[in-house]
Amino acid sequence: MITSKITSKAQTTIPQPVRHALSLQEGDQIRYMIEPDGRVVISRVPTAELADDPFATFGEWDGDADRKAYARL
């Protein structure tokens, strides 16, 4: 079993064996699916799905300040 801790900001490091198993690289996106029994399945978002996102190329405008500024639009 592999574990990791949650920080005070609700962040965690994905352990290296998990990153390897999912072929994760810096900048990749992951998704979480919550099962009815309470288990959570983590998987890598395929690059092909990201290509369908017209806003994926605007990552430089995806900061905390930007999300707050545009939250009520």
CA pair distance 12, 25, nearest whole angstrom: 16
Token code pair at residue 44: 């890598």
The residues, any chain, with a CB within 8 Å of residue 41's CB and separated by 6 or more, are 32, 33, 35
Residues 5-40: tens digit of each pLDDT: 999 999 999 999 999 999 999 888 999 999 999 999
| pTM beyond 0.75, yes or no | no
CA pair distance 8, 28, nearest whole angstrom: 23
For residue 61, is it within any domain?
no
- What domain range includes position 5? 1-56
For residue 70, is it within any domain?
no
What's the CATH code of the domain at 46? 2.10.260.10
For residue 19, is it within any domain?
yes
For residue 5, is it within any domain?
yes
Position 63 pLDDT exceeds 80? no
How many domains does the chain contain in total?
1
pLDDT range class, residue 59, cuts 50, 70, 90 = low
For residue 63, is it within any domain?
no
